[in-house]
Amino acid sequence: QVQLVESGGGSVQAGGSLRLSCVASGYSYCMSWFRQAPGQEREAVAILDGRGDTYYSGSVQGRFTISQDNAKNTLYLQMNNLKPEDTAVYYCAATAGDGYCYTIYAATTSDFAYWGQGTQVTVSS
């Protein structure tokens, strides 16, 4: 069982930056950030696997960076040049298995066994 606790959401104007954090109680080979906007499905935006490979959705590529501090058991999502369309609840998620991860377009919510409570990000124009 891995518990995930996110923090760092908030309100920012377009062009601004935020950094989300996710503290994990245990290890997972495959860590990710998903987001869900009102009326839309939850989508994967960034994935980090145990080898350090990263994957991003096209809508955030070049603006968001996923990283991990293993000493602190913390996953981060640095979000720069935020746009109003980035407004959503952001979730940290982790898989239960070891040694396997997903590319951004193959990842679905059912692939991830553990989820944080979500943190709201609101970007105003």
Q: How confident is the model at residue 97 (pLDDT cuts 50, 70, 90)?
A: confident
Q: Averaged over 13-22, what is the pLDDT?
A: 98
CA distance 89 to 9: 9
The answer to whether residues 72 and 23 touch, using CB atoms and an 8 Å cutoff, is: yes
Distance of CA 115 to the CA centre of its chain: 10
Residue given tokens 């009102």 in the structure block: 38
Q: What is the pLDDT of residue 115?
A: 98
What confidence score (pLDDT) does residue 45 get? Answer: 98
Cα–Cα dist 16/1, whole Å:
35
Say yes or no to pLDDT of 105 above 90: no
Q: Shortest CA distance to 70 belongs to which of 19, 112, 113, 31?
A: 31
pLDDT tens digit string along 40-62? 999 999 999 999 999 999 999 99
Please report, for residues 57, 74, 104, the alpha-carbon distance to residue 7 in angstroms, rounded to integers and kept in the order given. 22, 11, 23
Count of CB atoms within 10 A of residue 88's CB? 22
As a whole number, mean pLDDT of residues 7-18 equals 97
pLDDT tens, position by position, 58-75 = 999 999 999 999 999 999
Q: Around Cβ 104, how many Cβ atoms within 10 Å?
A: 18
How many CA atoms are closer than 13 Å to the CA of 78, on its beta-carbon side? 7
- The percentage of residues in the chain with a pLDDT greater than 70, rounded to a whole number, is 100
